[in-house]
Amino acid sequence: MNTFLKIFNFFLLIAFLSFSACGEVEDPDNVIVAPQGMTVSLTWTNDAVNPALATDLDLYIRKDFRTLVQSSKFSSFEELSITPGILNDDTYSIEIGVHEITKITNYTLTFTGKSTGKVYKRNFGPVNANDRYSTLKPFSLTVTGTKFNIF
């Protein structure tokens, strides 16, 4: 009887651990599900007193060389708002246009779900004067309904 009880308790423990391990699977860090859309922010740092004045980087979302959404402010950091319906279900490139640059610069792209607050952030660089008038393509973005997959 003692052996039967040990075997029964062992199987009971295995069943309990199996059921408690089952739960809602979280999306990876680079996937944001946000019914109200998301924002994409581009910021940068360099040794200038005001980095936004010393460097001009622009932010674009493009498909087949067509610009669909852009932020191209002069003398400030960039931010895009992607609201439901602005992009069809498809894959897009996220691009950074390097315009004015006089200092070695590192930049950060931050993706934030509007309704969830989930943040995915990546740092890049350095870029410098040799990169002036170039286009950097650090990410692709796949949109499926309210799901944004950044890769």
- The string of pLDDT tens digits covering residues 47-96 is 999 998 889 999 999 999 999 999 988 879 999 999 989 999 999 999 99
Determine contact, residues 43/110, Cβ cutoff 8 Å: yes
SS3 120: strand
At which residue do the structure tokens 């944001």 appear? 32
Long-range contacts of 75-79, Cβ-Cβ distance < 8 Å, separation of 24 or more: 76/52, 77/41, 77/42, 77/43, 77/44, 77/52, 78/41, 78/42, 79/39, 79/40, 79/41, 79/42
| d(C-alpha 60, C-alpha 17), whole Å | 47
Q: Return the pLDDT at 26.
A: 86
Phi, psi for 104 (deg, rounded to 5): -65, 125
The rounded Cα 97 to chain-centroid distance in angstroms is 18
Q: Return the pLDDT at 6.
A: 60
pTM: 0.82
pLDDT digits (tens, 9 = 90+) for 4-62: 556 655 555 555 555 545 556 789 999 999 999 999 999 999 999 999 888 999 999 99
Q: Give the residue from 50, 90, 48 showing the smallest Cα distance to 69.
A: 90
Q: Return the pLDDT at 96.
A: 96
For residue 142, give the H/E element and its range: strand 135-144
| One-letter-per-residue 3-state SS of 78-106 | EEEEECCCCCCCEEEEEEEEEEEECCCEE
Judged by average pLDDT, the poorest of 5-9, 60-64, 116-120, 147-151 is: 5-9
